[in-house]
Amino acid sequence: MSVKDVEAFSRSVIENVERVIVGKREAIELVMVALFCEGHVLIEDVPGVGKTMLARSLAISIGCSFKRLQCTPDLLPNDVTGVSIYNQKT
């Protein structure tokens, strides 16, 4: 993929997301940077500003699935990442 292809793809995705999320261009661009870097994103803000909608519309724009994780005080890292169980038979 050339730089021009990446730029065109990025613009297309940003335009799609901006049809749903208005006024959050910087947040959309930062999420795109994390996407290209194969990183993770934690979106924090007050309730009702479109965090879930941003993630959902981005996932739809790039053809991916979307799952929402509600953080609670009793949530543990293994609840998110899962655990490895050793099986002596294998």
- Residue 87: inside a domain: no
pTM of the model: 0.74
Residues listed for the chain: 90
- Residue 89: inside a domain: no
- Residue 23: inside a domain: yes
Number of structural domains found in the chain: 1
Per-residue pLDDT of the chain (90 residues; tens, 9 = 90+): 889 998 999 999 999 999 999 999 999 999 999 999 998 888 888 999 999 999 999 999 999 998 888 888 898 888 888 888 888 887
- Residue 40: inside a domain: yes
- Residue 75: inside a domain: yes
Residue with tokens 């613009």: 11
Map 54-69 to HEC letters. Answer: HHHHHHHHHCCCCCCC
Structural domain for 60, as ranges: 3-81
- Residue 12: inside a domain: yes
- Residue 72: inside a domain: yes
User: Structure tokens of 59?
Assistant: 């996932």
